[in-house]
Amino acid sequence: MSETSPGTDPTTTATRDIADVAAVEVITTAAVHLMSAAAVKCGLAEDGPTGAGADFLDLDEARKLITALAALVTASAPDIGNQHARSLRDGLRSLQLAFREASPFPDAPGDGPGEKFTGPVV
């Protein structure tokens, strides 16, 4: 059975649902998705029954995700408040350090993923 009543446009319902979500929630949700994807690409996925999480290591992809996350966190921090920004910054820093550790040839301080937005992470 459909969740919408007859004659109700699903686009209108979706738009209304999005309108009810606070901007801080949208930003933090996007940041968490970027963090999760970057963690997997840094080889931090849990070992599963069919293989190791390190099988998903892809530092090129991780670099892109971490840089996008750094830009989002840095740009939105003044608007989302210290409580939200602090935890996002902590997660970002952890990913930057994990990337550096996973890299066979670590970037120079300040040249790592997202460091043009956050400054050097060492």
What is the average pLDDT across 46-60? 80
Q: In angstroms, rounded to a whole number, what is the distance separating the alpha carbons of residues 66 and 50?
A: 27
Percent of all residues in the chain with a pLDDT value above 90, rounded to a whole number: 72
Q: In angstroms, rounded to a whole number, what is the distance separating the alpha carbons of residues 34 and 59?
A: 14
Mean model confidence pLDDT for the chain: 90
Report pLDDT for 10: 82
Report pLDDT for 2: 47
What is the average pLDDT across 89-96? 97
Whether the pLDDT of residue 5 is over 60: the answer is: no
Q: What's this model's pTM, rounded to 2 decimal places?
A: 0.84
Report pLDDT for 23: 93
Domain boundaries, the chain: 22-113
CB atoms under 10 Å from CB of 5, counted, come to: 7
DSSP assignments along 34-53, one per residue? HHHHHHHHTT-SPPBTTB-G
Question: In the structure encoding, which two tokens stand for residue 102, read together?
Answer: 């996973």
Q: Which residues of 13-44 are buried (b: 16+ CB within 10 A; e: fewer)?
A: eeeeeeeeeeeeeebbeebeebbebbbbbbbb
More confident residue, 5 or 93: 93
